[in-house]
Amino acid sequence: MQINKIFALLCIGGTITGSTVLAQTLTNQPRFNAESIKVIANNKFPEDLECEIFVGPKGSPYFRTEGKQNRTEKLTIDTVGGEPTISMLRKEGQTNSYALDLFTYDKDGKVLMVFDLNMDGVWDVKRTPTRNEKNFILFQDHWLAVDRIDGLLSETPIAEKAGKRYVFNKAWTLSN
């Protein structure tokens, strides 16, 4: 009787595991696999742009995309082991406008995120969530600590500090 119970539990466990693996393989499947490159994509690709591209040996940085209806919302280069990650994020309400986001650590090992809001090669926003001063904008070539930043991916991000308002339009300016 005990053997029948164990056998039944193994069969149920195997069925659940098999169903989970099958469900995962039905949504994301290897599309290309060679020695130094592997592409895994959603079975609805390119309508659903969920995709991962692995280049090099296991543990190397890899690329990941997200989006629907042939519209890329996010492109990320991920690394293993807490190394920097960089993402390209689609800005709200705009057809082909993106911002860059770099997630890394400062010299003391604290989390640091910087954003290039117009992809001109200059970091426009710095966030340090584990520090006392958390939000900074690049204002007149210097990092200015601000109380808050709203609409980071909107057409016109806004920052505030002590009642002063800053608006981003290719660069941060003091609003009147």
Residue-wise pLDDT for 21-38, tens only, equals 333 344 677 666 666 677
Strand 85-90 and strand 98-105: pairing?
antiparallel
Give the span between the Cα atoms of 159 and 115, in whole angstroms: 14
Residues paired with 174 in a beta bridge? 166
Lowest mean pLDDT among 51-55, 116-120, 149-153: 51-55
Neighbours of 134 (CB within 10 A): 15
Sign of the four-CA dihedral 20, 21, 22, 25:
positive
Of all residues in the chain, the percent with pLDDT exceeding 90 is 27
Q: Which run of H or of E encompasses 27?
A: helix 2-27
DSSP-assigned states of every residue in 141-163 = TEEEEESEEE-TTSSS-EEEETT
Residue 129: pLDDT over 90: no
Residues paired with 114 in a beta bridge? 102, 126
pLDDT value of position 174: 94
Residue-wise pLDDT for 89-119, tens only, equals 888 876 668 888 888 888 888 889 999 998 8
Q: 95: which 2 tokens?
A: 């057809």
Q: 117: which 2 tokens?
A: 């809001």
Residue 3: pLDDT over 50: no
Amino acid identity of residue 65, one-letter, is T
Q: What is the mean pLDDT of the chain?
A: 76
